[in-house]
Amino acid sequence: MGTGTSGEAPSSGGCGPHALTQGAVRLGCFVPQGWRHDLPSDLTPAAQWEAMVGIALRAERSGYGSVWVYDHLQAAPVEPGVPVFDPLLTLATVAWATDRIRLGAMCLALPLHHPAQLAHQLACLDVLSRGRLEVAIGAGSDPDEARAFGVHYPALGDRIMACGEAAELFRACWSHDQTNFEGRYSVLEGASVYPKPIQMPSPPIWIAGGGEQRTLWQVARHADGCSLFGPPERVAHKLDVLAEHCHSLGRPLDTVRVAVVVDCLVADTDEAADLLVERHNRLGEHPRSYRARRLVGTPAGCSQQLQRYLDLGVSDVCCYFPDPLGSDAIERLAQAVLGSPATRS
């Protein structure tokens, strides 16, 4: 892997300072960006942008600990005229509009970015947010999107290994006056990245994905946290694999924060929840399979389902609401999980 050099020792990986108290939960909320056709088509792009920022403000008022964005260039499925807003520009705007909530992309698709330039952009975001940035990177999941935009898309194994190298590169750039870095995928010669992040030695770095041979090994070696998805049984298995990787490296598992990314369909009654499943199940999955990977039901029911993840040691639950502008699901879930007032303004 790459090495950074300067007059001071490079920042170590390791991630104890960012670990949450066991049993605590940080509830996160995704901001709609258009990628999942989740912005009203009757609004102008400028009005959609304002609505996106409004979601972040609602999440902050409701007690959420973090807001998140995706990283994509076009909607899925592709449809002309559907805007998809840039994740870094969205985060900059959210950082400017909010006061306390932490923010990040879950996750930045590394093939779409130059790692050193991304190190500079992320450092600027940490300064702009006054030290509230979470850095999450991943191997990317849409080769057709990359091909459409002329982006080089290496084989999956290389994309995963590049995530660990990028974590090294970020920390080197953020801790050195000038960075010389020689890795398999990136080489820097005297790079000077300023401003430095406010969070030192670095903002928390997450690696997203549950690949057992490569991705979770990269998490154990390089990351402050991992991002998983799927039903609790799947997450439990992934955590067992992560524990094995951590043990082989001599790292305590409890120094790795664990996030679960999950869709949330919140309704007044179970019958109304069934209607939401019919409405949002675009791929026609069997209802039981669809529900198994999501929080579906009344606020109290969703809170009980969420508890199954927390019992596994999950520290962060990153919630995606399919229709945040047309409902008060954000506030109602927060009330059930956090005890915050369910008011929308």
Enumerate the β-bridge partners of residue 102.
66
Token readout for 291 is: 């529900």
* Tens-place pLDDT, residues 103-152: 999 999 999 999 999 999 999 999 999 999 999 999 999 999 999 999 99
What pTM, to 2 d.p., does this model score?
0.90
Looking at domain 4-256, does it have CATH number 3.40.920.10? no
The token pair that represents 85 in the structure block: 């807003």
Cα–Cα–Cα angle for 306, 307, 310, rounded to 5 degrees: 100
Q: Hey, where are the domains in the chain?
A: 4-256
pLDDT band for position 17 (50/70/90)? very low
Res. 21: pLDDT tops 70: no
CB of 103 closer than 8 Å to CB of 134: yes
Taking CA atoms, 278 is separated from 73, 126, 273, in Å, by: 28, 40, 9
Single-letter code of the amino acid located at 268: D
End-to-end Cα, the chain, rounded Å: 49
Extract the tokens encoding 245. Answer: 């990787």
CA 58 distance to own-chain centroid: 19
Distances (CA, A) of 16 to 13, 23, 161, 225: 9, 16, 23, 10
- What confidence tens digit (pLDDT) does each residue in 42-56 have? 999 999 999 999 999
pLDDT at 343 over 70: no
Q: Do residues 117 and 137 lie in contact, with contact meaning Cβ atoms separated by under 8 Å?
A: no
The CA–CA distances, whole Å, from 94 to 10, 52, 102, 205, 322 equal 31, 9, 10, 19, 20
pLDDT confidence bin for 183, thresholds 50/70/90? very high
pLDDT at 327: 94
